[in-house]
Amino acid sequence: MKKTDKLSVSERISLTLRAYKTIKKYVPGLMPAILIKALVTALHPFATIWFSARILNEIAGEKNLQALIILALSVVIINFIISVVKGRIDILHGERENQMWRYFSKVFADKQLSMDYVDIEDVNIQKRKDKEKYNLFNFGNGLAQFVWTINSTIEGAVSIIASVAMVVTLFTSTSENAVVNSPVWVLAVFAVIVIGMLANSKVFKKNNDMFMAWSERLTPFNRLYGFFGFTLCKDNERAKDVRIYRQDIPADAGLRKLEEREKAERSYYLKYNIGEAAAALVTGLNYVVCYLFVALKAFFGAFGVGSVVQYVGALGRFADGIQKLIYGITDNAVYTIHLKNLYEFLDLPNRKYQGTTPVKKRRDNEYKIEFNNVSFKYPGTETYALKNLSFKFNTGNRMAVVGMNGSGKTTMIKLLCRLYDPTEGEITLNGINIMEYDYIAYTSVFSVVFQDFKLFSFSIGQNVATDIAVDDRKAIDSLSKAGFSERFVSMPKGLDTPLYKDFEEDGVEISGGEAQKIALARALYKDAPFIVLDEPTAALDPIAEFEIYSRFNEIVGDKTAIYISHRLSSCRFCDDIAVFHEGELIQRGSHDALFSDKSGKYYELWNAQAQYYGVR
Ligand code: ADP
């Protein structure tokens, strides 16, 4: 660990408290389970020690049978109650701790969902996320370490308090022998305890540093291991290429190499164990001095045999408590560093301007979109993906956007949906800059089928409704408008048919074209006033494509629609065609008007494509 990594005590306290709050929020029930478990585990031995001492004192002293029976029954009952409580709390704690990994995923999912889209495409931010996720899920660094350690830290603190309370009379009681009564003994006992504490703390710290360095060394190694042993073979998307190009052979060789490297790391375990053994030796010497003191005091009549049991037991607990507390404090220094990194990532601010203006749902569906001199560069790039884009677009309009790949069509849609904000210029909805609107309300105006849309491994109905609750009639109607009816009737479970086999054995695999139809149905189901279709027929066969075009007006109904395609013939049906070229809108008009301009880009593109697609 570098020196600069050290955190101040107040930073450590505030990070630990924040971890407590995070766990409380994301893993409900785990913190109370930890607290109760720690209290019960710490106090249980003291109950046994205290009652055993009383019973032995009674046997060695007054021998009152009634008192003995009451004491013995109390031990039995208290132990029974503690065992029941412990059993229950162990189950609850175990369950919650097993579940915590699932909840940890939600910590990252929440951040991913709330971050600006621009950050999702930012490689550096995604790398940071991967690093934090990897550290947590592979080593438990940070939050999981906190959960594992806080348990024993509380246990240690409670043990120390209880044992001090139980051992006070050892020092206050006097024996017949003046030498044994000497305060030097008290000092000696404290001295060995302090030496023991320091030795343990040093070993823990050394071991922790060693673990940190070891896990650092293993990070790239584990990532490779995960790739060769897991991703490469498990990932369905890679399965075809893995087979055809026999990628399993280099993967096996890679795994073997990694195993050799892992063997070389084994000396780490040995060093770790030597440290632990040294600490155990010092603790053992501690016991010897403490027990000697107790035995001498008892020998010279300071207390009875029962109290010997009490003091010896309590001192044992004290040493154990100290060890746990030191472990907790040392580990806290390590996990708070990880927590700091995690929270720095989670606290990354969203830079996008968040407006508050509500989007009025207009009965007349009158929405006017206007691009005013909009230019845009992707973050980290120097070239403009869009240049001085200006156009108006009214409700009920149908606009087709055509142009070669890379001409800026999709970028225009991303700006319209506020996934990115313009570098220059502004976009307005009904005269107001779209940045002024409440973002969620604004996005509710749009239904978009992105070129690289994704469906999910839920039922087909839930995919269309994007909700658990599905309006069956509306979903079936949307699927039918999207041209999916024929395939849909062959699905035995109808809307409940699961998509893909990730979660359900009877899930159906669908073709790219079918997926595109379902994505279109999802956009129609949302029933937003604007519908944007980005290359909606790219994965469809020519017949399905023709079907969609010929029914396009019927499909989008009274909605305002923007239709994007690099294939010009797909857009012929549209009265308003915008031609994009190298980030600029260079022509706009109907097919006939554009085609008649023999020097225009549209004419050139049309003729170029006609050769391949056979359109005239
Ligand atoms: P189209 O939809 O017309 O095929 P795009 O709008 O996707 O074109 O792309 C326009 C330009 O922006 C292209 O030069 C493309 O390489 C670039 N581009 C697209 N997405 C990104 C991105 N995330 N980061 C950087 N450049 C991008």
Q: Could you give the domains of the chain?
A: 9-346 (1.20.1560.10), 357-445+531-540+562-616 (3.40.50.300)
Which atom of ligand 1 approaches the CA of 121 most closely? Answer: 23
Nearest CA to ligand 1 atom 24: 378
Query: What is the predicted pLDDT for the residue at 3?
Result: 43
How far, in Å, from the CA of 567 to the mean position of ligand 1?
A: 17
166 touches 310 (CB < 8 A): yes
CA of 432 to the centre of ligand 1 (A): 27
Q: Atom 16, ligand 1: which residue's CA is nearest?
A: 406
* Cα 406 to ligand 1 centroid, rounded to whole Å: 5
Which atom of ligand 1 is nearest to 564's Cα?
Answer: 2
> What distance in Å separates the CA atoms of residue 533 and residue 563, rounded to the nearest whole number?
5
Å from CA of 417 to ligand 1 middle: 15
Closest protein CA for atom 14 of ligand 1: 406
User: Beta 369-377 vs 424-429: how paired, if at all?
Assistant: antiparallel
> Rounded to an integer, what is the distance from CA 354 to the centroid of its chain?
24
Q: Give distance in angstroms: CA of 411 to centre of ligand 1.
A: 6
401, 402, 410, 450: residue to mutate for ligand 1 pocket, most atoms within 8 A of CB: 410
Per-residue pLDDT, 368? 86
- Enumerate residues 6+ apart whose C-beta is below 8 A from 129: 108, 111, 112, 345
Distance in Å, CA 385 to ligand 1 centroid: 6
Q: Which of 404, 411, 413, 453 to mutate to test the pocket of ligand 1 (most atoms within 8 A of CB)?
A: 411
Nearest CA to ligand 1 atom 21: 378
Cβ atoms of 135 and 142 closer than 8 Å: yes
Residue ranges of alpha helices (H) inside 115-175 are 117-120, 123-139, 143-172
Give distance in angstroms: CA of 539 to centre of ligand 1.
20
Q: Which residue minimizes the CA distance to atom 26 of ligand 1?
A: 378
The overall pTM is greater than 0.75:
no
Which residue's CA is the closest to the ligand 1 atom numbered 19?
411
Q: What pLDDT, on a 0 to 100 scale, did the predictor assign at position 208?
A: 75
> For residue 349, what are its two tokens?
């601010």
Separation of CA 546 and ligand 1 centre (Å): 27
**Dist. CA 420 → ligand 1 center (Å):** 12
Cβ < 6 A, ligand 1 pocket: 121, 378, 381, 385, 403, 405-411
Cα distances (Å, whole numbers) of residue 205 to 12, 96, 208, 332, 337: 16, 29, 5, 11, 14
Beta pairing, strands 530-534 & 560-565? parallel
For tokens 């999912």, name the residue: 109
CA atoms within 13 A on the CB side of 15: 23
| Residue stretches of the chain with pLDDT short of 50 | 1-4, 616
- Residue 330: the pLDDT is 84
Tokens standing for residue 71: 């004491």
The closest alpha carbon to 435, from 528, 527, 359, 529, belongs to: 359
Q: What is the whole-number distance in angstroms between the Cα of residue 122 and the centre of ligand 1?
A: 14
pLDDT of residue 4: 47
The reported pLDDT for the residue numbered 105 is 92
Q: 121 C-alpha vs ligand 1 centroid, how far in Å?
A: 12
Can you tell me which atom of ligand 1 is nearest the CA of 535?
Answer: 2
Tell me which residue has tokens 């913190």.
Answer: 31
Rounded CA-CA distance 203/196 in Å is 11
Q: Tell me what pLDDT residue 364 has.
A: 60
For residues 72 and 64, give the distance between their C-alpha atoms in angstroms, rounded to a whole number.
12
How far is Cα 343 from Cα 141, in angstroms, rounded to an integer? 13
Q: Atom 8 (ligand 1): residue with closest C-alpha?
A: 406
